[in-house]
């Protein structure tokens, strides 16, 4: 008998000072049985960082041809493709060919550092790719916030994110390892 996904709902109250984006989003996140709370919460964080009314979650770990999150324009062209974790370099290259902008959000500490060192040279050839890394203690702090029903206040300012849950503040300072010129 196959295991079913766990459904989590999150109310996100986003104040992105850098983009001038102030909106509330109610998102439903299907957590695959093999997915950790840490990975699921990094997906939620990636949504908060790039929030838009057209941004949606992909089908998840079982869908090879879809990202973790994406945004399409009205013609169906992919504007933004977001991968979470340590994707294969070929997958990222294909995504860069399909989407106007690709973002990879890595986490995991030393493993993410090793992934970056192995893939850095090949990835730097992509001119529409951004690679963001979360420190291990930050992604673990996100995992501690995971619940089936969540209310998160997200403030983005000066390259940092502040998540407030039940009056508790969690600071996330993503490291931009690579970004297209001018971003």
Q: What does the pLDDT look like over 54-101, one tens digit per residue?
A: 999 987 666 678 999 999 999 999 999 999 999 999 999 999 999 999
Going by C-alpha positions, the residue among 20, 16, 52, 6 that lies closest to residue 162 is 16
**C-alpha dihedral (25, 60, 146, 24), degrees to nearest 10:** 0
Sheet holding 6-16, edge to edge: 21-31, 6-16, 149-157, 160-165, 168-172
Let me know if 109 is exposed, middle or buried by CB neighbors in 10 A (0-12, 13-18, 19+).
middle
Q: What does the pLDDT look like over 88-139, one tens digit per residue?
A: 999 999 999 999 999 999 999 999 999 999 999 999 999 999 999 999 999 9
Assigned domain for 146 exists: yes
Assigned domain for 1 exists: no
Assigned domain for 150 exists: yes
Alpha-helical runs (H) found in the chain: 37-49, 89-98, 110-123, 136-144
The CATH number covering residue 57 comes to 3.10.640.10
Assigned domain for 17 exists: yes
Tell me the pTM: 0.93
Q: Tell me how many domains the chain contains.
A: 1
Q: How far is CA 171 from CA 94, 110, 148, 162, in A?
A: 33, 20, 22, 5
Q: Domain range spanning residue 116? A: 6-178
Assigned domain for 183 exists: no
């Amino acid at each position: 008998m196959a295991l079913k996904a766990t459904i989590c709902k999150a109310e996100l109250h986003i104040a992105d000072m850098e983009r001038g984006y102030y909106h509330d989003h109610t998102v439903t996140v299907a957590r695959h049985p093999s997915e950790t709370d840490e990975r699921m919460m990094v997906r939620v964080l990636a949504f908060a960082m790039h929030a838009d009314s057209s941004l949606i979650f992909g089908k998840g770990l079982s869908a090879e041809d879809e990202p973790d999150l994406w945004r399409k324009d009205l013609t169906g062209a992919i504007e933004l493709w977001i991968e979470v974790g340590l994707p294969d370099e070929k997958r990222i290259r294909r995504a860069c060919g399909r989407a106007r902008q690709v973002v990879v959000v890595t986490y995991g500490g030393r493993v993410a550092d090793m992934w970056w060192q192995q893939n850095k040279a090949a990835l730097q050839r992509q001119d529409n790719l951004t690679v963001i890394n979360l420190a291990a203690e930050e992604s673990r702090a996100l995992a501690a916030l995971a619940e089936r029903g969540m209310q998160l206040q997200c403030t983005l300012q000066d390259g940092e994110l502040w998540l407030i849950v039940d009056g508790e503040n969690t600071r996330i300072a993503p490291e931009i390892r690579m970004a297209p010129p001018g971003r």
